[in-house]
Amino acid sequence: ETGVTQSPTHLIKTRGQQVTLRCSSQSGHNTVSWYQQALGQGPQFIFQYYREEENGRGNFPPRFSGLQFPNYSSELNVNALELDDSALYLCASSFNRGFSYEQYFGPGTRLTVT
Amino acid sequence: GENVEQHPSTLSVQEGDSAVIKCTYSDSASNYFPWYKQELGKRPQLIIDIRSNVGEKKDQRIAVTLNKTAKHFSLHITETQPEDSAVYFCAPQRERDGGTSYGKLTFGQGTILTVHP
C-alpha cells in the first residue's frame, strides 16, 4: 500500500451543492494530482498541484478547483455539483524534480450526486 | 490531446498461461510509459513502468516492451495466477506540455484480465 490517504471514503451530495475532498501525500512527495474515474472507465486528469500552485489542468470546468498546503496535502473542491460528477476521485502523489514520474494513488473518495 | 487505446478490452486465460496487453498512443512527445493494476474497489497500483530511452524492462513475472517508432507499448505477464485478475491500465505521459513540466497521465480504457484456476 502507498502512504497516500484520502478523506472521506464515501460521500453523498445533492445536485447544486459544494464538496471538498482531501488528500495527504506520501512522505517525501511534493506534488499532488487529482483524477476523476467514472464507473467502468480509466481515470481522467483534473489538475496537478506543485509548490502550492496549479501546475497543469485537464479538460474540467472552473467549478473544479483545488489547493495545496505547505505540508503538500491537497484539497479538491467542486461547486454546483451535477449528476455527472458522480465518480471515484483519486489523488496521486509524486516527487517533482523538474518532472513527475511514478505517481502513487490514494484509495479514492466515492462521490454520489443525487 | 493524447489518444490512448488498449487491446484487448477483455482477456481470459488459464492459470499458468501468458497474457499480453497492448497500448497504442498518439502523442510522439510521450516519454514515460507506466502500467497500473486496479482490483475491484481498490486504487490503481503502479506495477511497472518504462522510460523512452529503454526498450524493455522486466520485474519477475511482469515485463513491459516499448516501440517508440510505432507508438505502442505492451504489458507481458507470464505464469499467470488468479490474483493477477484485475483491470489493467496503460497511462503514457509526456514530460512537458508547452512550457510547463508536469505529470499528466492519460489513461487507456482498461483491459479486464481474468485468470481461471
Question: CB contact, 8 Å: B92 with chain A?
Answer: no
Say how far apart CA B11 and CA A28 lie, in whole Å: 37
Q: Which residue's C-alpha cell is 486504487? A: B43
Interface test with B, best of A100, A104, A109, A110 (most B CBs within 10 A): A100
Is the pLDDT higher at B1 or at A67?
Answer: A67
Cell of B82: 488468479
pLDDT at A27: 86
The answer to whether B26 and B3 have CB atoms below 8 angstroms apart is yes
pLDDT in tens, A10-32: 999 999 999 999 999 988 888 89
Mean pLDDT of chain B: 92
- Residues of chain A with Cβ-Cβ distance to B92 below 8 Å are none
Query: CA nearest B110 in A: which residue?
Result: A42
pLDDT at B97: 61
Cell of A89: 476521485
pLDDT at A82: 98
The answer to whether A52 and A74 have CB atoms below 8 angstroms apart is no
pLDDT at A100: 57
pLDDT in tens, A29-49: 888 999 999 999 999 999 999
The answer to whether A100 and A82 have CB atoms below 8 angstroms apart is no
Mean pLDDT of chain A: 93
Asked if A102 and B46 come within 8 Å (Cβ–Cβ), the reply is: yes
pLDDT in tens, B19-43: 999 999 999 989 899 999 999 989 9
In angstroms and rounded to an integer, the radius of gyration of the C-alpha atoms of chain A is: 13
How far B83 CA sits from the closest chain A CA (Å)?
A: 16
